[in-house]
Structure 1
């Protein structure tokens, strides 16, 4: 089976790519298809994140294991598209280049039979130009109750000025 996937850059303007990959392709192959279709070299760190229908991120699936444990089964190369995407959970988040935080919404649009003579992955459609720098992110916390300073004035605390 073939997964038709729309990859949307998190930006104010519409910038997206429609890709086709085999359902048995691993996430590293999807990573390569995304970076190539958006004109990136593909040399930076990247991760996919499972998410819910509201794009709330859940489990990270990194390109490389940077932990000290053996996490090989939880890397992009070990997980197929069909392992993490289906009609009931069609969404993933993808972050490329953690210094610049290029963020993409990845959504399964359709599952179709494989066409003879077509090679995969396949770029079906490209819309919009990628900006030279990533769109600015606004990280806003939920507004909570206003809190007073927990200790009032710090002048009343008995700290030795030369404590270290």
Structure 2
């Protein structure tokens, strides 16, 4: 039995702690997370393997778009195949139009089983009416010899007004 903490990526704490059978599929976990957070479970979703810093890794989609027989998808992948030790993590994204993002962390593994699984054991906070807006930022790459800023661009190309000014015979 796994105890999994699921945290909605919002400014206010919105947390659900679940008890699940470790041999359940990620599709089962997807349906459970959708249910306990008040969603209908009908939107596309994916789990992503994650490291300790919550960096997004390999995708495990709800449905595989790959024809390969061993392609990853939630229906054929168990929870224990993806997280098996406490503190291992998954990122869960529900509804690609709204990008509800959740952080799932295995917090306890027990050998005992109960017939009442899955089970919601802790609820903290209310789910907002709308998904929090995501801000995607890329690290600014270091400038190399081929980078031009606005001043460089104007300097190199200021004599060019139209294609009529180019003498194509030179090239």
Cα deviation digits, residues 85-111 of structure 1 (max 9, x gap): 022761000000000000000000000
Question: 2:32 and 2:98 mapped to 1: Cα distance?
Answer: 19
**Matching residue of 1:123:** 120
**Matching residue of 2:51:** 52
* TM-score (normalizing by structure 2): 0.82
**Matching residue of 1:90:** 88
* TM-score (normalizing by structure 1): 0.86
**Matching residue of 2:8:** 9
Gapped regions of structure 1 (runs ≥ 5)? none
Aligned-residue offset at 1:151: 5.0
Q: CA RMSD in A?
A: 2.2
Q: Higher Cα Rg: structure 1 or 2?
A: 2
Question: 2:88 and 2:103 mapped to 1: Cα distance?
Answer: 11
1:60 to 1:154, Cα distance in 2 relative to 1, 3 A: farther
Question: 1:120 and 1:88 mapped to 2: Cα distance?
Answer: 19
Question: 2:57 and 2:161 mapped to 1: Cα distance?
Answer: 42
**Matching residue of 1:70:** 68
> Is the contact between residue 64 and residue 73 of structure 2 (CA under 8 Å) also seen in structure 1?
yes
Question: 1:105 and 1:24 mapped to 2: Cα distance?
Answer: 20
Gapped regions of structure 2 (runs ≥ 5)? 165-171
Task: Figure out how many residues of one structure are paired with residues of the other and give that number.
Answer: 157
